Amino acid sequence: MEIPISYETLRVLWWGLLGVLLIGFAATDGFDFGVAGLLPFVAKTDAERRVAINTVGPTWEGNQVWFILGGGAIFAAWPMVYAVSFSGLYLAMFVLLAALILRPVGFKYRSKREDKRWRAMWDWALFTGGFVPALLFGVAVGNVLVGVPFRLDENLRAFWEGSFFDLLNPFAILCGLLSVTMMGLHGAAWLSMKAEYGPVRDRARTLAPVFAIASIVLFAGGGLAMAYGPYGFAQVGEVDPAGPSNPLRTETVAAAGAWLANYASHPWMILAPVLGFGGAFAALIGLRLNSESITFIGSKLSTFGIISTAGLSMFPFILPSSLDPNSSLTVWNSSSSQLTLFIMLIVTAIFLPIILAYTAWAFKVMWGRVTTEDVTSGGDYY
């Protein structure tokens, strides 16, 4: 069977699609995490907490589809990346999934009883389900940028050398805090748009500038660490982008500051960090102008720019190895076959627009501010 798209092009397309799915997850479910993480700080009474929860109540389940699609894309398009990362990061994944499970359980069970202690317990469960994943997603990205401790033998068996606590290195924690502030800004911007005019909205607007400024500072700190710290990997020798998927067929070295090399080779990539900073500044301007749409769009652009910066900086690396750089997994050496990528691309071209159209329709139908009257008088609210 002759495939009309080259192997190299398919690999780059799927690398880009993986980025789209991860950005889609952060841009949609990110404000859900942000709202849950902000719950103890923006809502003081039971009615206020119900208002905050119900701003994301109609959409949080649909927003999680992006996370499932991202995991599925890694499994299907980059099976070696999936196998190494999910097995080596097993404990971290367990903690992440446990926190993610707390969120839907908290949504469903919180208002089942009138007891204050019961509701307070689930409110803290919701906070944990928002804060912990936001932190761990950032820590995971930070560790990928640093390089994770695995190696491959001649039979492509993966060996992981490291513990859960080794993942909590300073750079990874910085990235984790950046993720928390990024999603905190997104959640605050969402509450300012969706909560009724009142205490919840006002507190969210008070906290939003703090998260925006913190995002700018932490993003700049991460950039300086990448520029002057011992972080980065580079491929040496000839690389065949259309060659077979064998992680041991290319030579890689650890090179300080190498993550910035792509910006010199492809100047257009500078748009990503510009959006990361510019979006946060736009959110601040929106708050100043009392424009909720500018604030929310700015937070989305900042999210897009920050995540894109990590991906573009690392290209073509997906999962570099700090133990044995030659075991690093890249776009060129760890993908599925050309036929698999082509079939998946056709399926994606059919169903992704449907998902986008349905998501847009769902947000349109369920748009509008959540009021105290709504949550106290309606039976369909959390």
Question: What tokens were used for 2?
Answer: 């002759």
Tokens encoding 9: 């092009």
In which residue are the tokens 């800004």 written? 185
pLDDT for 93 equals 86
Ranking 61-65, 208-212, 287-291 by mean pLDDT, the lowest is 61-65
- Model confidence at 380: pLDDT above 80: no
Phi-psi region of 232 (alpha: psi -120 to 50; beta: other; left: phi over 0): left
- State residue 346's pLDDT score: 94
pLDDT at 115: 86
Instruction: Please say if the pLDDT value at position 381 is more than 80.
Output: no
Predicted local confidence at residue 211, as pLDDT? 97
Whole-number percent of the chain with pLDDT over 90: 60
Beta bridge partners of 234: 253
**72-113: pLDDT as tens digits:** 889 999 999 999 988 888 888 888 889 989 888 988 888 888
- Angstrom distance (rounded) from CA 78 to CA 80: 6
Dihedral sign, Cα of residue 331, residue 345, residue 183, residue 299 = positive
Q: Are 281 and 297 in contact (CB under 8 A)?
A: no
Question: What's the confidence (pLDDT) of residue 243?
Answer: 86
| One-letter amino acid for residue 33 of the chain | F
- Pair of tokens at residue 313: 């900086």
* pLDDT, position 257: 87
The percent of the chain in helix, strand and coil, each rounded to the nearest 5, is: 75, 5, 20
Return the top range by mean pLDDT from 25-29, 153-157, 167-171, 217-221: 217-221
34-39 mean pLDDT: 93
For the entire predicted model, the pTM comes to 0.92
- pLDDT of 164 > 80? The answer is no
The string of pLDDT tens digits covering residues 343-374 is 999 999 998 899 889 888 988 888 889 888 88
Q: How much is the average pLDDT of 210-218? A: 97
Instruction: Using the predicted structure, report yes or no on whether residue 273 has a pLDDT greater than 90.
Output: yes
- Asked if residue 248 has pLDDT above 80, the reply is yes
pLDDT attached to residue 155: 87
- pLDDT number for residue 382: 78
Secondary element (H or E) of residue 377: helix 372-377
* Average confidence score pLDDT of the chain: 90
Answer yes or no: are the C-beta atoms of 318 and 78 closer than 8 Å. Answer: yes
* Under 8 Å between Cβ of 107 and 53: yes
pLDDT at residue 331 is higher than 90: yes
